[in-house]
Amino acid sequence: MKTTYNFNAGPCVLPKEAVKAGIEALQDFNNTGMSVIEISHRSKDWEAVMNECRTLWKELLQIPDNYEILFLGGGASLQFCMVPMNLLEKKAAYLDTGVWAKKALKEAKAFGEIVIVASSAESTYNYVPKKYTIPADADYFHITTNNTIYGTEIHTDMDSPVLLVADMSSDIMSRPVDVSKYAMIYGGAQKNVGPAGVTFVIIRKDILGKVSRHIPSMLDYRIHIEGESMYNTPPVFPIFIMTQTLKWLKKLGGLTAIHKINREKAELLYAEIDRNPLFRGTAAKEDRSLMNICFVMAQGRESLEAEFLDFAKSRGMVGIKGHRSVGGFRASVYNACPKESVQALVDCMREFEKIHK
């Protein structure tokens, strides 16, 4: 098999164990003689998978008992409207740190007043705003903890005077999280915990049922809680692979262990970006993401961008082209991206440097 170093921003690189288990389950799930994508989602065999997946989420994140875990469709983008539909009565506050945060607040405007407490748009979202005031009368405060396009990340669990809602699509399960500080955490699985097709929602039960508007059944968190994420047929294969991915993560040592690995990978690549005269980082150093490492050619060397992309591709690098809105390069080093891949990219950058000294 061709050696490939996968830095795609999503769908993400998955643990080999999860992929292997998926292949086996597609052929014969749990000795049923049927594929995992053929079985009834009401069968005991499938209910066991759902229960195992919930248990792994609870164990790994130490989720308190007063929270529910949902597995839904529609991606994080559907949550941009489900969150305000279920939680926004009069006013909500949003922190604008990138494209996805901006899309979330745009959807919320259809349901009530939106206050943007701070934004880093004026500097192309290359930092996370620090000094702002969260309105005490807001129904909730929404943040996007990791910004895939610009390579910034909120590294700590903040205190909020109102309900804190977080889109953690691209850094969930990459570090320990104090779930009790959040009223709700949501995200698409395809960055760190599985393939595209399933969305996770962690929500405190007591925050629901407070709005006066009618909520359609498919968009009502209470309906999905009552139906145990099976109000309609769940995305069975993505949930199966997510379960296998979380089993791999638990076996690895959980979130403390993966956080250490993620720091080592990021530090290795950032050190080379800072050292190599051909490249420069784009995010403020204190806000650099551990998941999405963004960089460009150094000033005066911009003409080498296309050449480096071709050079990296010839060395087996996949997915390092920056988002089309910003250009440059982006290496997404999610949980299952091995340190060997990061070292291969560093070696590639050093080799390119020798050519252009």
The helix/strand/coil state of 28 is coil
Catalytic residue among 46, 57, 100, 248: 100
CA–chain centroid gap for 2, Å, is 28
> Dihedral sign, CA of 171, 173, 178, 180?
positive
65 catalytically annotated: no
Among 96, 139, 171, 191, the one annotated catalytic:
191
Contact 117, 93 (CB under 8 A): yes
d(CA 23, CA 35): 10
Other residues' Cβ atoms within 10 Å of the Cβ of residue 204: 18
**Greatest CA span in the chain, whole angstroms?**
66
307 Cβ contact list (under 8 Å, min separation 6): none
Please say whether the beta carbons of 60 and 255 come within 8 A: yes
Catalytic residue from among 167, 171, 220, 287: 167
> Active-site residue 248, yes or no?
no
Q: What distance in Å separates the CA atoms of residue 249 and residue 12, rounded to the nearest whole number?
A: 15
Task: Based on the residue annotation, tell me whether 100 is a catalytic residue of this protein.
Answer: yes
Parallel, antiparallel, or unpaired: how do β-strands 140-144 and 152-153 relate?
Answer: unpaired
Which residues form the catalytic set?
100, 167, 191
